[in-house]
Each structure stands twice: as structure tokens, then as C-alpha cells.
A and B are shown apart, each in its own frame.
Chain A
Amino acid sequence: GENVEQHPSTLSVQEGDSAVIKCTYSDSASNYFPWYKQELGKRPQLIIDIRSNVGEKKDQRIAVTLNKTAKHFSLHITETQPEDSAVYFCAAIPSNAGGTSYGKLTFGQGTILTVHP
């Protein structure tokens, strides 16, 4: 099955700095890569996603890059703010030859991001 490795496990930055979280995946059939943000005591929420036919996607201060050859993808947050502090999860979905995987997301281990004012 799919295995997703996420690094670092904790990340501490000063407000205004950039933060980068990296993930690698094992199944070359994976073709959808979402990122989730989970604030303390809350549910994981989708913040950005990327599909395998795209190399980069941006949404305001967040961006995701994908390197299918190397099987890794990264989340970039610029101009970090204290409200960006949360646990971030990457995930991947493989699909079979028929194109169906029923959305079995495999998550990375999570990164605890702390943004200091």
C-alpha cells in the first residue's frame, strides 16, 4: 500500500518568515495530493491540493509543489502569521488501472507548526 513520509515533525518560525513542509510517497500510481490544516481541538480542513498533471499551485500565501519523478511534494507558507500555527498533514491517493481508489487517503505523520509573534 501507499506510504507517506512527512518532515519535519515540528517546525518553529518567527512571524513573517516562510515555512516549508516536505512529503514523500511510495506509490507511483498516486495522483492526488491534498494538504490539511488541523487547529487544536478542531477537525482537519483542506487548505490546498494538487493533482499529478500539475507541478505547482498557489493560493495567496500558500503554495504546493509536486515532483512526480522524485515522488515528493511540498507545502510552502510565506509571510507566516500566528494564526498559521496548527498541525499540517499531507496525504496521497493512489488509483488503480480502472481509475478508482474510493478516496483512500493515506496521511503523513503531521507537522506541528508554531509561528512566534
Chain B
Amino acid sequence: DTAVSQTPKYLVTQMGNDKSIKCEQNLGHDTMYWYKQDSKKFLKIMFSYNNKELIINETVPNRFSPKSPDKAHLNLHINSLELGDSAVYFCASSQSSWTGGKMDYGYTFGSGTRLTVV
């Protein structure tokens, strides 16, 4: 039973198209993220939602728009795709809470979506 699942796994599309990636987690976590991993393997945060509220919005072109219909789902819509958008996009979730004075973080990543723009 996959904890964080994202679809599709592969996405090949032409420049200028609009595409969406979907993510769902069944861990009961309250926070979800989108990370972008470029060709050099660097992992950079794009967005984060806590209980459906956008809390992190890094310097990302406004062609990228996240949507969280509920705390178990976080989707990423990309308009007017460009060649530079080609990367692997990872969804992740965590429970960001204080437990007895200690933070209890545990990131679980989805399997990734390899986006190729041609």
C-alpha cells in the first residue's frame, strides 16, 4: 500500500502545453510538498501546504500553480511548459508537529514524475 503516490510516473510533452501532476498520501500527514530535482540531482523545494494552506512558495515561475483540495492531496499544474522545466518532480509529506517539545518530522517522498519537455 503506497504511502505517497504520484501520477504520472513519466510525462513527455511539447513546449507550450499545459500539464498536471497529482499526488496523494495516506499517512495522515498534515503537510505536503513539491520538490524539483534537476539533472545535477539537486533537490529544491517549490511549494508546501499545511492543512490545505499554502505556507511555502519559493521563487517559482507563476506558470506553476499548486492546488490542495484536502490535506491528503496536492496537485501541481504547469502552464506553457518550457524546455527548462524538464526535471524529476517529487511530492513529499510529513507531520510537522511538536510532540513533547520535540519536532517530529519524517519526510516520505513519492516515486517521482519524470517530466520531459520537447
Which residues of chain B are near A93, meaning CB under 8 Å? Answer: 103, 105
Which residues of chain B are near A46, meaning CB under 8 Å? Answer: 106-108
Residues facing B in A69-117 (CB within 8 A) are 87, 89, 93, 95, 99-107, 109-110, 112
Given contacts A103-B96, A110-B41, contact A31 B103 (CB under 8 A): yes
Interface string of B29-44 (1 = CB under 8 A from A): 0010100000011111
Q: Give which listed residue, B48, B90, B110, contacts A102 with CB less than 8 A.
A: B48
Residue pair A99, B103 in contact (C-beta under 8 Å): yes
Given contacts A34-B105, A103-B48, contact A110 B42 (CB under 8 A): yes
A16-24, A37-45, A56-64: which lies at the interface: A37-45
Is B50 an interface residue, CB under 8 A from the partner? yes
Q: Give which listed residue, A43, A87, A103, A106, contacts B110 with CB less than 8 A.
A: A43
CA A42 to CA B110, docked complex, whole Å: 9
CA A109 to CA B31, docked complex, whole Å: 24
CB proximity of A41 to chain B, nearest CB, Å: 8
Residues facing B in A1-53 (CB within 8 A) are 31-32, 34, 36, 38, 42-46, 49, 51
Q: Give which listed residue, B50, B94, B96, B112, contacts A43 with CB less than 8 A.
A: B112
Which residues of chain A are near B96, meaning CB under 8 Å? Answer: 100-103
CB proximity of B107 to chain A, nearest CB, Å: 6
Which residues of chain B are near A105, meaning CB under 8 Å? Answer: 45, 107
Residue pair B107, A32 in contact (C-beta under 8 Å): no
Is B111 an interface residue, CB under 8 A from the partner? yes
Given contacts A31-B103, A43-B111, A93-B105, contact A107 B43 (CB under 8 A): yes
Residue pair A51, B102 in contact (C-beta under 8 Å): yes
Q: Give which listed residue, B41, B45, B108, contacts A104 with CB less than 8 A.
A: B45
7 tightest A-B contacts by CB?
A43-B109, A103-B96, A107-B43, A103-B94, A110-B41, A102-B96, A102-B55
Q: List 22 A-B contacts (CB under 8 A).
A: A38-B41, A43-B90, A43-B111, A44-B107, A45-B109, A46-B106, A51-B103, A89-B43, A99-B98, A100-B96, A100-B98, A102-B48, A102-B55, A102-B56, A103-B31, A103-B94, A105-B107, A106-B45, A107-B42, A107-B44, A110-B43, A112-B41
